[in-house]
Amino acid sequence: MDRSRRLLVWLLAPVILAAMGTVVYLSRRMPPPPTQTSRPAPDFRLNGFDGRPLALSDLSGRVVVLNFWASWCTPCKQEMPNLERLWLEFKDRGVVVLGIDVQDDIEDAAAFLKALGITYPNVFDPDQDRLIAYQVTGIPTTIFIDRAQRIRGRFAGGYLGEAGYAELRRQVLALMSAPP
């Protein structure tokens, strides 16, 4: 490679790296809208961290924000305050935030929930069967379920920061206003 080409590469490399960094930064600040689907949500019955069983079918007639997480997952820890905030805002309006702990130790998960002050319902999936049923390939993943228990959206990744909360809230409001 001649000298002028090498110089051009050295001059363009920082610009390209800065552009890539900007894209990564912006993608972490503003999650894309969840992909839209419309299929029945697979029912399940799992034990909560309070020891009581909870079935998805028990929540029929409500909008459900189903979130797959684990105590060792850093983005899960970062997004849980937004899920808690959503729960506190909408729990009296027919919306349930439901966490499913996967690929985890139950004691670690219980301590994690307590340390973060999470009050929305959470269940433990010891067999990981719900990962397969909901086609979850990474955590955190959030599934949006309408009142008729149909999957209406999914997002793989964390709803982080104010932009993440705004997108979560937008998705819930859209499901709440959708016809049954």
Whether 14 and 79 map to the same domain: the answer is no
The average pLDDT across 140-165 equals: 96
Whether 16 and 97 map to the same domain: the answer is no
Q: How far apart are CA 136 and CA 37, in angstroms?
A: 14
* Cβ–Cβ < 8 Å for 44, 133: yes
Whether 2 and 46 map to the same domain: the answer is no
Question: What is the pTM assigned to this prediction?
Answer: 0.79
Whether 64 and 24 map to the same domain: the answer is no
Whether 24 and 42 map to the same domain: the answer is no
Q: What is the pLDDT of residue 10?
A: 58
Q: Is residue 148 pLDDT above 70, yes or no?
A: yes
Whether 76 and 127 map to the same domain: the answer is yes
Comparing 32 with 180, the larger pLDDT belongs to 180
Q: What is the pLDDT of residue 31?
A: 46
Whether 136 and 161 map to the same domain: the answer is yes
- Of residues 145, 99, 97, the one with CA closest to residue 125: 99
Task: List the domain range (segments joined by +) for residue 9.
Answer: 1-30
Residue 32 sits at the vertex; the CA angle it makes with 161 and 95, to the nearest 5 degrees, is: 70
Domain count, the chain: 2
Whether 5 and 64 map to the same domain: the answer is no
> pLDDT digits over 76-126, tens only?
999 999 999 999 999 999 999 999 999 999 999 999 999 999 999 999 999
